[in-house]
Amino acid sequence: MRLLEYQSKRLLKKYGTPVPDGKIVANPSDAKQFMEMAKSDCMLKAQVLTAGRSKSGGIKLIKSVDEIEPALSEMLKIKFENFPVNLTLIEKAVNYKDVFKLSLFIDPVSAKPIIELTYLVSSTEEYLNKHDQSKNIETAEINPEIGLLDYQVRHLEMALEAPREMWDQFRQIARDLWKMFCELDAVYLEINPLVLSSDNHLMALNVIIEIDDYALFRQSELAGLIDYAMYSSLEIETHKAGLSFIQLDGNIGCMANGAALAMSTVDLIYRKGKSPANFLDVGACVSAERLGVGFRLLIAEKNIESMVLNYYGLSTPCDEIAMEILKAWGEIGFTKPVFVLFSGLNSKKGVEILRRKKPFKAALFSNDFSI
């Protein structure tokens, strides 16, 4: 689960890392009020989760109060990868001389936490001429039992010849970030850019925080930060039902019990030259009831003209699933064709139950089924 910039900055602040003074605004008068009090240039930033905001007009430098109204109204109209802008963040602009990127993540190969510092831009020509691009990144592997050690931070600073004025502040920020990483069950933390201001203060101008979805049960405050406005009602409903759903572009609904089975079913539909509308995994050991919830949600979607259910009877046998979807048909009375592929426990029984029941076309799983 990724947090919006302003949410991430609030957390950074809580953990002690400096961020620019700022305020969430959705209308020009709030923004003007902030700028008048700030008495400085400001940055207006769209609060969306996608990358590359500045390229698409999501980040603007505002030099006078008059610029606010047109800039804000324009920004609120932009769609970033189909996500609307509901909120913007207005901040005091910062003059800076050195730019870094600081990130914390778990290395997939070693399964260890890694802290990575990148020197992006230097104010001194000297530095840029001395070093080639590939030598401006340093990492340190953190022992999760012991935590980030000060000497590791010094290694990063020395390797990149970071300005001495920032060393103490950087050590504190690195410690804050590591603490945050652990306490919030973060899978990814990135401060980019981390700038050294003209008056030698390190400050986080933008931060990305991604929280482990599987840890939300023990992060109740963070779980409450999910912005439901970003998701479609189908995404929200399937999520509530504990199902794993991804929207695609096509018109053939797709569901299966098991992530890889569901992916494979998307592939199957694609290989037959058709267009899958979605990915939906109801879980390998799903109950008939829960599968029924997913089924009813999917069949109701307007863009879906037909559906494929690929089910392997594991803990719930195929005949129980057949009864459940038959029940759904009894309730809703849809006419869209539903292709059911059964394998595993009681697969033959399942196929029998759906035989000659329009609109179902059930068969034992095989490579050639026609949809």
Partner 1 sequence: MGNLIDQSSKIIVQGITGQMGNHITRKMLLSDIKIVGGVSPFKGGEWALEGRVPVFETVRSAINATEANISVVIVPPAYAAEAIFEAINEGISLIICITNGIPIHDLVKIKMYLRGKRCRLLGPNSPGLCIPGQISLGILPHDQIIKGNIGVVSRSSTLALQIMDYLSKNGYGVSTFIGVGDAPVLGTNIEDVLRMFEEDTETEKILLVGEKGGIQEENAAKYFSQHMTKPLVAYLAGQSGLLDPYPLQEISTCQFEKTSIKEKIISLDKAGIRVASSLDEILSLLG
User: Contact positions toward partner 1, by CB under 8 A?
Assistant: 2, 49-51, 81-83, 105-109, 111-113, 143-145, 182, 185, 187-188, 190, 208, 210, 212, 214-215, 217-218, 246, 248, 256-261, 263-264, 266-267, 270-271, 276, 279, 284-285, 310, 312, 314-315, 343-345, 365-367
* Least distance CB 45 / partner 1 (angstroms): 16
* Least distance CB 139 / partner 1 (angstroms): 13
- Rank residues 285 and 332 by Cβ distance to partner 1 and give the closer one: 285
- Rank residues 276 and 294 by Cβ distance to partner 1 and give the closer one: 276
Total residues belonging to the chain: 371
d(CA 363, CA 354): 9
- Rank residues 87 and 248 by Cβ distance to partner 1 and give the closer one: 248
- Rank residues 196 and 318 by Cβ distance to partner 1 and give the closer one: 318
* Least distance CB 212 / partner 1 (angstroms): 5
* Least distance CB 130 / partner 1 (angstroms): 27
- Rank residues 104 and 156 by Cβ distance to partner 1 and give the closer one: 104
Residue 287 one-letter amino acid: S
* Least distance CB 216 / partner 1 (angstroms): 9
What single DSSP character describes residue 301? -
Residue 278 one-letter amino acid: N
Given a contact cutoff of 8 angstroms between Cβ atoms, the answer to whether 115 and 174 are in contact is yes
Given a contact cutoff of 8 angstroms between Cβ atoms, the answer to whether 54 and 107 are in contact is no
Burial classification of residue 159, based on how many CB atoms lie within 10 Å of its CB (0-12 exposed, 13-18 middle, 19 or more buried): middle
* Least distance CB 252 / partner 1 (angstroms): 12
Strand-pair partners of 339 = 308, 361
* Least distance CB 91 / partner 1 (angstroms): 21
Could you give the angle at which helices 288-299 and 318-332 cross, rounded to 10 degrees? 40
- Rank residues 24 and 114 by Cβ distance to partner 1 and give the closer one: 114
- Rank residues 92 and 274 by Cβ distance to partner 1 and give the closer one: 274
Given a contact cutoff of 8 angstroms between Cβ atoms, the answer to whether 347 and 313 are in contact is yes
Q: In three state form, how does the secondary structure of 59-91 look?
A: EEEECCHHHHHHHHHHHCCCEECCEECCCEEEE
The order of strands in the sheet holding 59-62 is 22-25, 88-92, 42-46, 59-62
Radius of gyration of the chain (CA): 26
- Rank residues 97 and 101 by Cβ distance to partner 1 and give the closer one: 101
For residue 308, what is the enclosing H or E element? strand 306-313
Q: Which two tokens stand for residue 261?
A: 């089975």
* Least distance CB 289 / partner 1 (angstroms): 14
